[in-house]
Chain A
Amino acid sequence: MQAAKDTKRPRRTGIIAAILRIPAVQTILASLMCVLAGLLIGYIVLLFINPQGAGESIINVIKNFFTWKRPQQQLKQFGNTLAKTIPLIMCSLSILFSYKVGLFNIGTAGQYVAGACASLYAALAWGWSWLPCMLFALVAGALLGAIVGALKVYCNVNEVISGIMLNWIALYTTNTILTEVKEKASPYTMYFKDVNNKGALLPNLGLDKLFNNNSYVTIAVPLCLIIAIAITIILSKTRFGYELKATGNNKNAAKYAGMAENRNIILTLMISGALAGLGASMLYQTGYMRWECTMSSVPAMGFNGIAAAFLGGLNPIGAIFSSFFIQHITDGGQYVNTNFYSSQISDVISSIIIYLCGFVLFIKLTMNRAIARSKEKKEAKK
């Protein structure tokens, strides 16, 4: 009996260790650990401020739209979260695509703004219909990305520096341009119906019916999923992806192999920018939000994209789930009990969780070290 136990145990730990060594499993585990740590710290913060409502509030954050009692309401709110998840997915795709090439495109935030500017202005001032508006946003984002890329290639300017600068330039330029199409009484841009251009709204394809007539659920949802899959394929199965990843992993080897690394850098940042720009049009053309022309900070979407990209293990499909989660808890923040907490607390909680999401790579590294160490110990025992 004793002997049987002894022979069994090492085998089981062996299987667990083997499973733990699969990279995908590691990523998912690390992501879950980050999420749990974030929720825990959020809970502790709530406890500190006011222990009374902490438990209920943190559960509400997790529940998000499930906080509503009626299933119909839940569906509608679910649709809202989904509508805002789409641009976040696009931003995280933008981040991870450039990251695969070894570039940290922090300019995603600005490229997102440029996309918003282009799509809204084309829709409101020129009365374009939805598809041209979308493509215009894509071009605007790509153009901004190209500037970052060209500065990097020809002037050796770090993409992070130029990206941050361009974020501000994009923001204030957008504020200036969109002021022309804003409502007289408010800082917000007009509704599409105000200029008789409902055609600029993205078509619903009947998806709104699935979400209790939530008109914000549009063609953007399937389109975004298709783009995520396309990016997966490009990166893993094509010559272009082969070149991009080679450049990202080892720029010198890419040059040695005669790859056009400069062209690849610019192209990557253009695609990255295009994704962000497209993402903006996928939100603003649903009519869910309007641009606030007095905004003095870049929308958080581009930055949250960084967290989403890392939480998703830098995998396009992973980014879909991580983006949804981040948007989910961001929205869930509004269900924190305001009797006990000031309304800003929702942002604090969700940003703590998002912050910890960035630790995925760190946790993966720690896990690998721990595995190696236990293996070393085991071998030493032998």
Chain B
Amino acid sequence: MQKEKAGEYAIEMLHITKRFPGIIANDDVTIQLRHGEIHALLGENGAGKSTLMSVLFGLYKPEEGTILKDGVEVKINNPNDANALGIGMVHQHFKLVECFTVLDNIILGVEPTSRFGMLSKGEARKRVLELSDKYGLQVDPDAKISDITVGMQQRTEILKMLYRDNDILIFDEPTAVLTPQEIQELMQIMRNLSAEGKSILFISHKLAEIMAVADRCSVLRKGKYIGTVNTKDVTMEELSAMMVGRNVNFHVEKAPANPGEVVLEVKNLTVASKAHSNNAVKNVSFNVRRGEIVCIAGIDGNGQSELVYALTGLEPIVHGTIKMDGKDITKASIRSRSKNGMSHIPEDRHKHGLVLDYSLEYNLVLQTYFESRFTDRIGFLRRKNIRSYSNGLIDQFDIRSGQGAVTAARSMSGGNQQKAIIAREIDRQPEVLVAVQPTRGLDVGAIEYIHKQLVAQRDAGKAVLLVSLEMDEVLDVSDRILVMYEGEIVGELDPKKTNPEEMGLYMAGAKRGTV
């Protein structure tokens, strides 16, 4: 009865404006979530999606705007308020206790206790099993989080929300860590949930998924609200134009590859894992030739990072050989690999790629500062040369920053930080370019630019090894795909002949080929 009166919306965020120093993260944004619908929130990185959700969760206080629950204005000052209103969220990075069981994680914070403060889990277990039956969420309540798949971890997160009787569910980029098959399952779960009357906010920048599962879609761009559309009434191209503000070329333009002789040769490489006693990379062999882009595909955590660390010398190996231009570099230092023509665009630009407290110019010479053009014989830096060299790169690669060469790297945007790294690594004229997730967290424009640079390197006769978790990137950019699963290369695919479904089977370990 109450619900009927309240009208059609479960949650309304009206005219929300949230400012941070120097930036308006949300500028008069309005989102209305209907009862029982799947509502997508689409926007590029930095469009203000996370800020908006943080406002809904009481983590930020907006300067302007109101939030209505079932038509009644509510004040959400902290996450507990949000929880009390039945708002739950599955974060992009799961908030689970690794060494606890699924059940323990679900009841965490709302533990059922007997009179003497002892845990009474029997009741809880029954409810969890009921819920998982009802919505088709298969979990083993007694398995430890560290032992189960990412998909099951996500289902645990969903159960956590359901156990708390949340009826407004927020999914923050839930598909980023899943295989194509798991994504299908997740979408089915979302449909089941909405059929049972739960309202879902689905944050994503993947258009295909939004088209497949969402009823309506609201688009944000640079903090501004662009509009809400019924997904049935629009095409993917239209959505993307709304998101980016212009038409985007999805496909990377490139001529067929023209591979030359082998530059990078890896044989029987085994690398130990830091996380567990198994080897992270097991007996891997492959090679990369001049003028081709070879892509290592796979789901995060299947040994790609360790493989790159071994290639670039950041981590020691157990056994195997690595040859570059015919020379054995298995035991060579990082510096000598880099001097002999290996460039490395690292996976984590803040951890490895940049010294954030250094200026842009100092970061641009991070790999070359010791060369005679930047350091004189006594050991003093030639700062004039560093400045003019940096200004050259800044012009050439269009690196934008507040104060040019002297800008602190920390204050630059992610896209420009990445551009700086790419400028530095490409300008060294490498023989082998190892690029690890070079477009991670960047907006569509920057991604386009970086893909063009990679293809240009290939066309200039360099060997490019690309490691990527993005299916589209793998298929669009590479000339040859190697799929990694649990530390092994389980398949070599031709991007022109394969499709996402087939790749997904390899990535999930369901299929194996001969390499």
Determine whether the beta carbon of B333 is less than 8 Å from that of A253: no
B424's nearest neighbour on chain A, judged by CB, is: A257
- Is the pair A249, B314 in contact by a Cβ cutoff of 8 Å? no
Bound form: Cα–Cα A243–B369 in Å? 9
Taking Cβ atoms with an 8 Å cutoff, the residues of B that contact A are 19-21, 63, 312, 314, 333-338, 344, 346, 351-358, 362, 366-367, 369-370, 375, 379-381, 383
In the complex, the chain B residue whose C-beta lies closest to that of A247 is B355
Complex A-B: 23 CB contacts under 8 Å: A237-B381, A238-B381, A239-B379, A245-B358, A246-B355, A246-B358, A252-B352, A253-B366, A256-B312, A256-B334, A256-B344, A256-B352, A256-B353, A257-B338, A257-B366, A258-B334, A258-B336, A258-B337, A258-B338, A259-B335, A375-B21, A376-B21, A379-B19
Smallest CB separation, A263 vs chain B (Å): 12
Residues A372 and B21 in contact in the complex (CB < 8 Å), given A239-B369, A256-B346, A256-B352:
yes
In the complex, the answer to whether A250 meets B335 with C-beta atoms within 8 Å is no
Which of A238, A249, A375, A376 meets B355, CB within 8 Å? Answer: A249
* Given A253-B352, A379-B19, residue A258 in contact with residue B367 (CB < 8 A): yes
A242 and B362 form a contact (CB under 8 A): yes
Chain A residues, CB < 8 A from B362? 242, 246
A255 contacts B358, C-beta separation under 8 Å = no
Enumerate the 8 nearest inter-chain pairs by beta-carbon distance, A residue then B residue, closest first. Answer: A258-B335, A258-B334, A256-B352, A239-B375, A249-B357, A257-B366, A250-B355, A249-B355
Q: Contacts A239-B375, A246-B366, A258-B337 known; list 5 others, CB within 8 Å.
A: A242-B362, A252-B352, A253-B366, A257-B338, A258-B336
Taking a contact as CB atoms under 8 Å apart, the answer to whether A380 and B19 are in contact is yes
The answer to whether the Cβ of A340 comes within 8 Å of any Cβ in the partner chain is no
CB neighbours (8 Å) of B63 from chain A are: 380
A252 touches B381 (CB 8 A): no
Chain B: which residue is nearest A236 at the CB level?
B381
A61, B356: Cα distance in complex, Å: 43
A126 interfacial by beta-carbon distance below 8 Å: no
Residue A240 is within 8 A (CB to CB) of chain B in the complex: yes
Q: Which residues of A contact B314 (CB under 8 A)?
A: 255-256
Complex-state Cα separation, A371 to B356, whole angstroms: 22
Chain A interfacial positions (CB closer than 8 Å to B): 237-240, 242-243, 245-246, 249-250, 252-259, 372, 375-376, 379-380
B381 engages A239 (CB within 8 Å): yes
- Contact between chains at B353 and A253 (CB < 8 Å): yes
The CA-CA distance from A376 to B356 in the complex, in Å, is 24
Chain A nearest Cβ from B113, distance in angstroms: 40
- Asked, given contacts A249-B356, A256-B352, whether A238 binds B379 with beta carbons under 8 Å apart, the answer is yes
Checking A238, A243, A256, A379 against B380 with a beta-carbon cut-off of 8 angstroms, the contacting residue is A238
Structural contact, A253 and B354, CB atoms closer than 8 A: yes
Q: Which residues of B contact A253 (CB under 8 A)?
A: 351-355, 366
| Least distance between B165 CB and chain A CB atoms (Å) | 37
Q: How far is the CB of B343 from chain A (nearest CB, A)?
A: 11
- Which of B20, B338, B369 has the most chain A CB atoms closer than 10 A to its own CB? B369
Residues of A within 8 A of B375 (CB): 239
Q: Using known A-B contacts A239-B369, A376-B21, determine if residue A250 contacts B333 with beta carbons closer than 8 Å.
A: no
Q: Which residues of B contact A252 (CB under 8 A)?
A: 351-352
Q: Which of A237, A250, A257, A258 contacts B356 (CB 8 A)?
A: A250
**Residues of B close to A245: CB separation below 8 A:** 355, 358
Set B335, B346, B353, B381: member contacting A242, Cβ < 8 A: B381
Closest Cβ of chain B to A82, distance in Å, is 32
Are B380 and A237 interface neighbours, CB within 8 A? yes
| Least Cβ–Cβ distance between B495 and chain A, in angstroms | 30
A258 and B333 within 8 A (CB): yes
Q: How far is the CA of A277 from the CA of B312 in the complex (A)?
A: 40
**Closest Cβ of chain A: how far from B428's Cβ, in Å?**
12
> Assuming the A-B contacts A253-B354, A258-B338, are A376 and B20 also in contact, with contact meaning beta carbons closer than 8 angstroms in the complex?
yes
Are the CB atoms of B353 and A239 closer together than 8 Å?
A: no
Residues from chain A with Cβ under 8 Å of B312 in the complex: 256
In the complex, what distance in Å separates the CA atom of A258 from the CA atom of B353? Answer: 12
A246 nearest CB across to chain B (Å): 5
Complex Cα distance, B353 from A239, in Å, reads: 19
CA A375 – CA B20 in complex, angstroms?
10
**A203 vs chain B, min Cβ distance (A):** 29
Output the nearest chain A residue to B378 by Cβ-Cβ distance: A238
Complex: how many Å from CA A35 to CA B444?
52
What distance in Å separates the Cβ of B340 from its nearest Cβ neighbour in chain A?
A: 11
Bound: A243/B367 CA distance, A: 11
Give chain A nearest CB distance to B23 CB in angstroms.
10
A246 to B352, alpha carbons, bound, how many Å? Answer: 11
In the complex, chain A residues whose CB is within 8 Å of the CB of B380: 237-239
B346, closest chain A residue (CB): A256
Query: What chain A residues lie within 8 Å of B21 (beta carbons)?
Result: 372, 375-376, 379
- Measured CB to CB, the closest approach of chain A to B499, in angstroms, equals 36
| Interchain nearest-CB distance for A241 vs B (Å) | 8
Distance of A256 Cα from B308 Cα, bound (Å): 12
Residue of A nearest to B365 (CB): A242
Using Cβ atoms and an 8 Å threshold, which residues of chain A touch B336? 258
> Closest CB-CB distance, A222 to chain B, in whole Å?
23
CA distance A319 to B362 in the complex (A): 26
Shortest distance between the CB of B5 and any CB in chain A (Å): 36
Alpha-carbon distance A246/B362, docked complex (angstroms)? 9
* CB-CB nearest in chain B for A371: B21
Interchain CA distance A237-B356 in the complex, whole Å:
19
| Among A239, A243, A246, A254, residue most surrounded by chain B Cβ atoms (within 10 Å) | A239
A252 to B352, CA, bound (A): 5
What is the distance, in angstroms, from B414's C-beta to the closest C-beta of chain A? 16
Query: How far is it, in angstroms, between the C-alpha of A253 and the C-alpha of B344 when the chains are bound?
Result: 12
Q: How far, in Å, is B349 (CB) from chain A's closest CB?
A: 9
Q: Which residues of the partner chain B approach A239 to less than 8 Å between Cβ atoms?
A: 369-370, 375, 379-381
